[in-house]
A and B are shown apart, each in its own frame.
Chain A
Amino acid sequence: MDKELEAEVVEQATNATENDSTTHNWQRVSPIALLYFVLKVIKNIFGNFIYLAPALYLGYDKVAEDPSFWLPIIYGAVALIVLSAVLSFYFFQYRLSNQQIEIRSGVFSKKYINLPFSRIQNVELTEPLYYRPFGYTCMQLDTAGSVKQEAKVVAINKHLALQLKNEILAAHQPVTSTETEDVTETQTKIEDEVVLDTRNLDDLVIHGITNNRVWIFIAGMAPFIDQISDKIGQWLYFLGFNVEQYFEFEGKSGWQIATTAISLTLMVMIPITIFSIIGSIIAFHDFKLSRSGDRYIRRSGLFTRNEVTMRLSRLQVIVRQQDWLDVLLGRINLKFEQSNANFQQAQAGQLTNKIIVPSVTRKECQFLIDDAYPENKLKDVEFNRVSPRLLVRNLLLFILPISAVIASLAYQQQPIITIVYVLIFAVFISVLITMSYIRWGYAADDNFIYVRKGCLGVDYYCFPIYKVQQAGFKQSWFLKRKQLCSVEFVLASGAINIPYVTEATGLCLLDNSLYQVEQSKKNWM
């Protein structure tokens, strides 16, 4: 019975792909991938830009001196790049058969990947700018296993890619029921996608202001950062702005120094904010979060359109994040975090492992959270405070060195004003420490653990208890005397700590979590 069904599924799947092309045999990707390979080679070269920079600098003079000698070499280098791209293209082949995808690649060191659809955890479609007019896309396939075991089909027809994606993700559905209608049902379910959230330009501008998205901009600019900073220096000089003058503090009063500091901060902050807004638009332009069946799909991006798909079951923790500006403006960044394991190698700037919804309003945020976890009570759960000893410890850790500084200043008979500055600074930090203590909070109900933390801003974490991977109980000698402890919950997306709770509460939280994990035996993804 089961076998019959399986055969049918396979047949259906293969039929679907056969319609477009005969993908049974080894085949190459579209020639448009040549562009991809050329850019990849160039990117690799520029990745080592720091080592190449002196050579390029020297080289430039040489070339200017004697172009007839050096030009052929440059042409040769260009030819080499093109040749390596052509070879990479030639040797890149893939094949689809029997619910699995095979990829052969590599010019000198050959690589062969064989991935059954059922082992693919995540399908990510990326459309670089230069693919878009031709309707092609990069398809990245992730497995839960290791970093090395991931495959990328570098240029595939978008239509085919979407079809394949549906098929791959359908292969995941546990087909336990013997009814064949089930399969068709999931097939249709995939098609009706519900848009949950979109972001407009003004949302993105707010997001750029409240969150530092400079790195998105900088990551793209990295190879040219030297030239840019040189240029900026020249412009400033041109505008009659003497940088050195700014830093001559001798003979200036405290207020002058303070104004200098403030104007300097502004001068740094304004361009950073502008770049941050640009970065936010680059990353989140035309943001769309939709849901189809049990899958969340995020699409966004100005130049390179990115599509990330995550099954609801892969969601590990919901993070509701607000910086202090977000608190003032009433906006929230909502993150759906999934397993981290695959993405440790990924660049810091990549957003692929989480679905982030930038700067949503309170209402939209609640709607999205309720959509993912209907039975969660994040909105009206009452948070418990952690022990005030955390506040005492942090203040002591900070105030002891500060008072030492003040004492030594007084001992050296410094003017009162210096001591006042140090004091103001100390009070400011103490306020921050107190704020961060007040933010700490935790709560638990039958299914979820909630944690609140932050300082000026506030972050909420909410995770289903059965997703816990590992539990930790920490107690220093001092905490033991006061019968306090800290607890740690390790999830696939990272660890979440609750500091300074009573021993009884901590043990209760841990024991209950372990019990839920071990008793329910639910899968974490």
Chain B
Amino acid sequence: MNPTVLDTPEALADFSNKTVATDELASLAKLNFNALSAKYAPTHRLVILMTTLLLMTLILIAHHQPWLALPTEVKVVFEVAQWVIGTIGLLAYLYNYFADPKKQYSLREQDISYQSGLVFNKTVCQPILRVQHVELKRGPIERKVGLASLQVFSAGGAMHTFEIPGLDYDNAENIRQYILSHKDLTQHG
């Protein structure tokens, strides 16, 4: 019922399109979820750590540079900024340490779902019929470690872009192909 793994092109060839829910109503409660790439969580934590450290270093340099004498007010602002950035960075690190493993996705014949959130858990389900286009987004770090984010656009607008982060590149490409070759898209799109 749920073609969960799509590692090989053969999976696409065996593609069936039984109508959902004639035998038993498919439910979001019964989704078979797949985990994101194992590389995602560590990379994400590293990025948060590096960003925080970089920002703090920049402020530290600006604070103690020898060329320009700063007014005391500015120095106070810098000090507060250090603390704020440090705290936010630490909290983000801790939060994602526990939240990242909760992120998971599920692919069914007719739709694709993504679940995330530690305290506020959210499952978004995107019917493939309503997809307008699909993109793979890869930043420099994602390219380095071989990850990709899958973005699925519907007519719901930019606020409701469906995105799955941290997929292995090959897997992301497979999912993209699966969506693009979906019968609904090729016929109704």
Chain A contacts to B: CB under 8 angstroms: 144, 339-341, 344, 468-477, 480, 490-492, 494-495, 507, 510-511, 514-515, 517-519, 521, 523-525
Contact = CB atoms under 8 A, between A and B. Distances in A.
Interface stretch (B24-32, B53-61, B63-71): B24-32
A373 B110 CA distance: 27
B109 to A, nearest CB: 8
A519 B19 contact: yes
Given A472-B124, A472-B125, A519 B119 contact: no
Contact of B28 (A144, A473, A476, A480): A473
Contacts of A492: 155-157
B121 interface: yes
B158 to A, nearest CB: 7
A519 B156 contact: no
Q: Classify chain B: how many residues form its interface, as a range.
A: 20 to 34
Contacts of B158: 344
Contact of A515 (B21, B159, B160): B21
Contacts of B21: 511, 515, 519
A470 B184 contact: no
Contacts of B154: 469-470, 490
Interface in B95-134: 110-111, 119-127, 129-130
28 contacts: A468-B127, A468-B130, A469-B130, A469-B156, A470-B130, A470-B160, A471-B124, A473-B124, A473-B125, A474-B123, A477-B120, A490-B154, A492-B156, A507-B27, A507-B29, A510-B125, A511-B26, A514-B111, A515-B25, A515-B26, A518-B127, A518-B129, A518-B184, A521-B129, A521-B184, A521-B188, A524-B130, A525-B155
Contacts of A339: 155
Interface string B13-52: 0000001110001111100000000000000000000000
Given A510-B125, A518-B20, A495 B156 contact: yes
B155 A341 contact: yes
Contact of A472 (B122, B155, B188): B122
Given A471-B125, A515-B26, A519-B20, 7 more contacts: A340-B157, A469-B154, A469-B156, A470-B156, A474-B120, A515-B21, A521-B184
Contacts of B169: none
Find the residue from A490, A491, A524 having the highest chain B CB count within 10 A: A490
A524 B119 CA distance: 34
B162 A470 contact: yes
Interface in B148-189: 154-160, 162, 184, 188
